[in-house]
Amino acid sequence: MDAGSIVDVKQAVAKARDYLKAVFSDEQISELRLEEVEFDKRDDAWLITFGLLRPGSENLARFGAVPGGTMLNRTYKVVRIPNDENELPSIKIRELAEE
């Protein structure tokens, strides 16, 4: 972590979780899990990866249905929390390596 960092790791994770929940508030996401945390010194921002279950048709055999018949799939999102409070956070899809 940069010594001049405005946001510490716990604050960054809390901000990222709140931001992700707000952006996806119209979807029924569940099992939001913290996966990775990294401070990018070049970008002066926290990169925080969450795994979550979302309604969808991918990975049906892996996760199946929940009560009511909705199919879920696990996706991963990277939330960027800038150290500069004047910058907006962002969310990107975390691509997984093929096995």
Reported confidence tier of residue 1, pLDDT bands at 50, 70, 90:
very low
The answer to whether 33 and 52 have CB atoms below 8 angstroms apart is: yes
Beta strands in 7-44, from DSSP E residues, in sequence order: 30-40
Q: How many CB atoms lie within 10 A of CB 77?
A: 21
| 64 Cβ contact partners less than 8 Å away, ≥ 6 residues apart | 71, 72
What pTM was computed for the model? 0.77
Residue 44 is classified by DSSP as T
Question: In this model, does residue 32 exceed pLDDT 90?
Answer: yes
User: Residue for token digits 């990222």?
Assistant: 16
Q: What pLDDT, in 10s, does the model give residues 50-85?
A: 999 988 755 444 555 555 566 778 899 999 999 988
